Amino acid sequence: MNISDACIVMNERVISKAFAKINLTLDVLGKRADGYHDIETVMQSVSLFDLVIIDKTAAKGIRITTNIRSLPCNEKNIAYKAAALFFEETGAPGGVKMLFHKNIPIGAGLAGGSADGAAVLVSMNRLFGNPLSDERLLELGARIGADVPFCIRCGAAVARGIGEKLSPAPHMPGIPLLIVKPKISISTAEMYEALDDVIITKRPDTGRMLEALRSAAAENVAAELCNVMEPPACEKYPVIGEIKKKMLSCGALGAAMTGSGSAVFGIFASKRSADAAVSHFSGDFKNIYSVTTI
């Protein structure tokens, strides 16, 4: 699957879905000389998405509007950076007006910003007559965010390096999930800093997770969930561990924090059981999503 499959082109407008991701596994292998960290992670797209509408404008410039007041609509926004990079790379005429209806919560480890940046690159490429190859779009995506190339491709993949080196993973769509995000938002830099000060005692096994995905059995995938950032995150923010514990008590086959947090997801045997678990969280949490892998 490619995010291009979720684009609808209508004359001077493109409407696209920008899909969130979860990390089925996440291992941090070490800190690099450039200050970044090498990782190995199995990532999976989910059906939670932001809606992105982009219109061509005769006048040059990039204008952004969004339903989230706190979200910057300037050069600090990864979607703005994506549009600016596209114009720089292609020399396309005119400008764009972009509307983002955000559903993916911010600071959750769900790659909402990266998904929006990916949608902008792919949508603008469609809008302006596909001047860039798929490979070039991936290269440009890596320049604005490590998760952007994955968000362009969607589906399932193993990501290495800082997250930009992708290799295919077995695709298992339709796994029911419940995602719960607490009020706290965690920056990726904060969690990497915390991880540098702890000894990692349990690491994921990428090979076993890939075998679990090949088996097409949700319980096998659930058994291999592992995120090395989860223990320090739970120590600093106990609510993350509390959500995970409740998720399991509500019937989840397995649960884990995604990315650098703060969202926790649980894998369920059926969509009905995932939907039934929503009521156990709705009194305490606002951001609750019953979704599936795609």
Is residue 1 scored above 70 in pLDDT? Answer: no
Q: What is the average pLDDT score of the chain?
A: 96
* Domain 3-168 CATH class label: alpha beta
- Contacts of residue 108, defined as CB under 8 A and 6 or more positions apart, other chains included, come to 181, 185, 258, 259, 261, 262, 263, 287
pLDDT digits (tens, 9 = 90+) for 19-40: 999 999 999 998 888 888 999 9
Instruction: Look at residues 155, 179, 176, 153 and name the one whose alpha carbon lies nearest to residue 164.
Output: 153
Instruction: Look at residues 192, 227, 189, 216 and name the one whose alpha carbon lies nearest to residue 42.
Output: 227
Q: Which amino acid is at 177?
A: L
> What mean pLDDT do residues 2-17 have?
92
pLDDT digits (tens, 9 = 90+) for 254-278: 999 999 999 999 999 999 999 999 9
Superfamily of domain 176-292 in the CATH hierarchy: GHMP kinase, C-terminal domain (3.30.70.890)
Query: How much is the pLDDT for 33?
Result: 87
Domain ranges of the chain: 3-168, 176-292
pLDDT digits (tens, 9 = 90+) for 221-257: 999 999 999 999 999 999 999 999 999 999 999 999 9
The share of the chain scoring above pLDDT 70, in percent, equals 100
φ/ψ of residue 94, rounded to 5? 75, -155
- Rounded to whole angstroms, the Cα distance separating 255 from 1 reads 25
Residue 18 · residue 195 · CB < 8 Å: no
Query: How much is the pLDDT for 96?
Result: 98
Catalytic positions: 21, 147
- Rounded to whole angstroms, the Cα distance separating 125 from 132 reads 7
Residue 148 · residue 121 · CB < 8 Å: yes
Is residue 88 scored above 70 in pLDDT? Answer: yes
Q: What is the DSSP string of 195-216?
A: HTTS-------HHHHHHHHHHT
Instruction: Look at residues 223, 116, 205, 213 and name the one whose alpha carbon lies nearest to residue 173.
Output: 213
